[in-house]
Amino acid sequence: PITNLLLNHKGSSQKTANEKFEKHALNYESKILDVFGHVFQLTEFRENQWEAINAALQHHDCFILMPTGGGKSLCYQLPAVIDNGVTFVVAPLRSLIFDQKQRLKSLGISCASLTGNISHEEADEIYRELYKDSPAFKIVFITPEKISMSDQLNTALRDLYNRQLLARFVIDECHCVSEWGHDFRRDYSQLGQLRINYPDINITLLTATATLRVQQDILQQLHITRNYKLYTQSFNRSNLIYECIQKENNDLTLSQISNLIKINYQNQSGIIYCFSRAECDRAAQYLLASNIHALSYHAGLNDSLRQTIHMKWINDECQVICATVAFGMGIDKNNVRFIIHFSMPQSIEGYYQESGRAGRDGEIANCHLFYCYDDFLKMKRLILNDDESKSPMQTKQVRINNINRVYDYCLNNVICRRTQLLEYFGEIFSSSECKSVMSTECDNCRQVYKTSSIDCTRISIEILKLVSDLNQTNTTLSYIIDILRGVNSKTIRDAGHHRLRAFNSCHQLTRLDLERLVTRLIIDGYLKQEFLDQQTSSIVAYLRPGVNALQLASSSSQRSTNTSKIQIELIIRIEQINTNADEERSNSKEKSIEQINEQCFIELKKELKVI
Ligand code: ADP
Ligand code: MG
Ligand code: ZN
């Protein structure tokens, strides 16, 4: 098989006119194949692995963007085995380093890690090895703060460098370098030193998520300017089924989730992402009470307990983990069949990663996202109240934008989920490919609707007017929508606000459509949300004119010719078309969330009767 591979891949490797170099490269090719088969015991390269490994061995900086589970690690581990000297890998989490180390050790590759938690003795032993003439380690993992804080490490690196035994730096999860990314880490911003201190040592960057802007920022922060190689590929995860579900309230959602697991995922592994530690505990308790083996996992538990829970889940002794986002990065369990977001993710990138932990084995897996306006407000207020010193204003603004985008994604009941997600990474995805051979179309593609593009400019201006005319305490989202929809409530009548409703264009917009419109107006800065009373437990936000409000208002007036006309459009559903797929689904064993909802209500009613 190895010779086969050589033939297969020869065509795709770069040809060079320089004969000497070519010989050199060929030499690499057979070495790569040898290590690939005999050390890593693999048989076929995945997309871009071969190219990236070759590029690394030919002394290029590499920026490797691959979906989660795509096989990024091999792109530095294989060169590290071949290279003379030691490769240093910066990784953000100890758990991630632990997993990688176990795997390398099982393959017989000598490695070590210098993280904050190891004892002096262990560290000394590792350093002693590094000072040897020919250190045994091929790979040493370090956490980013080590680079900026440990003189001992820097002295050892300098020494290896002088002896030409510093093979390469690898920065795993490199999106953490950028403040524009979804998981910025301050310690990562120190990594720019690497290029400055060791100018001719190649750097390999790995991540599963980086928009174009984030990519550019990472390269700039790390001073990687010369001809690096960039490897990207489609980020579509064709075996994942995406779905968003509006949340009624937390209790009902928990009962939906427990039914969903019992009916569709018997004995199958999954993760439930929760907003807070308390929410993790509560979800786990609820599921346990319904006979689902669930455990709670969050930063409030001590290291060893977390480790135990993690291992139980990995070994299928525990079915469901209820976790905060602290759980996840670097998790390598390939039979995860469902990811449920009990609370919304904090960014689209974050969502892509979190949901991406499902179905690494290539088989169908589901991603259910529960959302509601209250959660949206809750998350937003938390960001606003965050300690300034920990999170400077720019980052806050980025985080606010991120959460706005997530809410917009959830509400969007028209555009293919994949199209929306991938657009975020600069990829154009046609919804016609959503279905794939596996029938994994998303919720929006599953049901076929006639859609229509509605010009919402006028109504947007009316909303703006309404918001600025009304007493501030009346401008909650639901109140505004009630007025727009002509809800005949006593509060509205008493306040005389029923007369404000003069919008003919509204009648075809559903409540959800209107909420989508308002969210768009918030994202585009025509409206903003203000949290007044930050003390109360229930969170209320008032809509106010945003920074771009005037622009919109003035663009409508006929007289102003110098401002470009703003047009706000919304594509909405107008009519459902029944398809065979619906029937097929209703006959199948798997239940849709609507069917499960129905069951939930029946059960809830039963419970109420008992009371
Ligand atoms: P990520 O891109 O998320 O870092 P990993 O490098 O952890 O992914 O790889 C995910 C899984 O895929 C691992 O179990 C790894 O052993 C496996 N893998 C990587 N490359 C190949 C390959 N060429 N053939 C088969 N399995 C592979
Ligand atoms: Mg990885
Ligand atoms: Zn779709």
pLDDT(9) > 50: no
Binding-site residues, ligand 1, Cβ < 6 A = 42, 44-46, 49, 66, 68-74, 332
Ligand 1, residue 103: give the atom nearest the CA. 16
Using alpha carbons, select from 416, 358, 294 the residue that is nearest to residue 67.
358
Per-residue model confidence (pLDDT) at position 234: 86
| Structure tokens that stand for 194 in this block | 């690497």
pLDDT(392) > 70: no
Of residues 337 and 185, which shows the higher confidence score?
A: 337
Per-residue model confidence (pLDDT) at position 518: 94
Are residues 85 and 167 in contact, defined by beta-carbon separation less than 8 angstroms? yes
Bridge-based pairing state of the strands 229-231 and 203-207: unpaired
In the reported structure, the alpha carbon of residue 64 is separated from the centroid of ligand 3 by a whole-number distance in angstroms of: 27
pLDDT band of 596, cuts 50, 70, 90: confident
- CA 373, 378, 384, 388 torsion-angle sign: negative
| Structure tokens that stand for 210 in this block | 């980086």
Ligand closest to Cα of 442 equals 3
Ligand closest to Cα of 236 equals 3
The residue whose CA is least distant from atom 27 of ligand 1 is 71
pLDDT tens digits for range 549-577: 988 888 766 555 555 678 999 999 987 66
Mean pLDDT taken over the chain: 86
pLDDT band of 506, cuts 50, 70, 90: low
In the reported structure, the alpha carbon of residue 331 is separated from the centroid of ligand 2 by a whole-number distance in angstroms of: 8
User: Region 171-191: what's the mean pLDDT?
Assistant: 87
Ligand 1, residue 72: give the atom nearest the CA. 2
pLDDT tens digits for range 48-81: 999 999 999 999 999 999 987 789 999 999 999 9
pLDDT(500) > 80: no
Ligand 1, residue 68: give the atom nearest the CA. 3
CA distance 359 to 361: 5
Per-residue model confidence (pLDDT) at position 18: 46
Are residues 283 and 274 in contact, defined by beta-carbon separation less than 8 angstroms? yes
pLDDT band of 116, cuts 50, 70, 90: confident
Ligand closest to Cα of 357 equals 1
The residue whose CA is least distant from atom 12 of ligand 1 is 71
Of residues 347 and 185, which shows the higher confidence score?
A: 347
94-98, 137-141, 156-160, 355-359: range with lowest mean pLDDT: 94-98
In the reported structure, the alpha carbon of residue 238 is separated from the centroid of ligand 3 by a whole-number distance in angstroms of: 10
The alpha carbon of 419 is separated from its chain's Cα centroid by a whole number of angstroms, namely 15
In the reported structure, the alpha carbon of residue 604 is separated from the centroid of ligand 1 by a whole-number distance in angstroms of: 44
pLDDT tens digits for range 422-436: 998 888 999 989 987
pLDDT band of 14, cuts 50, 70, 90: very low
Per-residue model confidence (pLDDT) at position 209: 81
In the reported structure, the alpha carbon of residue 338 is separated from the centroid of ligand 1 by a whole-number distance in angstroms of: 20
CA distance 82 to 64: 19
pLDDT tens digits for range 254-292: 999 999 999 999 999 999 999 999 999 999 999 999 999
Percentage of the chain exceeding pLDDT 90: 55
Ligand closest to Cα of 43 equals 1
Residue 291 gets the label, from left (phi > 0), alpha (psi -120 to 50) or beta, of left
Which amino acid belongs to residue 60?
Answer: H
pLDDT(313) > 90: yes
Crossing angle of helices 477-485/457-469, nearest 10°? 120
Of residues 555 and 150, which shows the higher confidence score?
A: 150
Ligand closest to Cα of 433 equals 3
pLDDT(12) > 50: no
Per-residue model confidence (pLDDT) at position 565: 79
CA distance 375 to 396: 18
Give the mutation target among 42, 174, 205 for probing the ligand 1 site: most ligand atoms within 8 A of CB. 42
pTM more than 0.90: no
Per-residue model confidence (pLDDT) at position 8: 34
223-237, 334-348, 465-479: range with lowest mean pLDDT: 465-479
The residue whose CA is least distant from atom 10 of ligand 1 is 69
User: Region 355-363: what's the mean pLDDT?
Assistant: 90
In the reported structure, the alpha carbon of residue 88 is separated from the centroid of ligand 2 by a whole-number distance in angstroms of: 15
pLDDT(403) > 90: yes
DSSP state of 112: E
The residue whose CA is least distant from atom 21 of ligand 1 is 71
User: Region 575-596: what's the mean pLDDT?
Assistant: 66
Q: How far is CA 312 from CA 142, 307, 355, 425, in A?
A: 26, 9, 21, 34
Per-residue model confidence (pLDDT) at position 485: 83
Using alpha carbons, select from 581, 552, 572, 573 the residue that is nearest to residue 564.
552
Per-residue model confidence (pLDDT) at position 326: 78
Per-residue model confidence (pLDDT) at position 295: 96
In the reported structure, the alpha carbon of residue 68 is separated from the centroid of ligand 2 by a whole-number distance in angstroms of: 7
In the reported structure, the alpha carbon of residue 434 is separated from the centroid of ligand 3 by a whole-number distance in angstroms of: 5
User: Region 15-36: what's the mean pLDDT?
Assistant: 68
pLDDT band of 3, cuts 50, 70, 90: very low
User: Region 359-374: what's the mean pLDDT?
Assistant: 93
User: Region 536-541: what's the mean pLDDT?
Assistant: 77
Ligand 1, residue 40: give the atom nearest the CA. 16
CA distance 555 to 567: 9
Of residues 542 and 554, which shows the higher confidence score?
A: 542
- CA 157, 161, 166, 171 torsion-angle sign: positive
> Residue for token digits 């046609």?
430
The residue whose CA is least distant from atom 20 of ligand 1 is 71
The residue whose CA is least distant from atom 18 of ligand 1 is 71
Using alpha carbons, select from 531, 562, 582 the residue that is nearest to residue 386.
531
pLDDT(11) > 80: no
Per-residue model confidence (pLDDT) at position 10: 33
pLDDT(5) > 80: no
pLDDT band of 458, cuts 50, 70, 90: confident
The residue whose CA is least distant from atom 23 of ligand 1 is 45
Per-residue model confidence (pLDDT) at position 474: 76
pLDDT band of 588, cuts 50, 70, 90: low
Beta strands in 50-126 (DSSP E): 62-65, 86-90, 111-114
Using alpha carbons, select from 282, 295, 277 the residue that is nearest to residue 255.
282
Per-residue model confidence (pLDDT) at position 611: 43
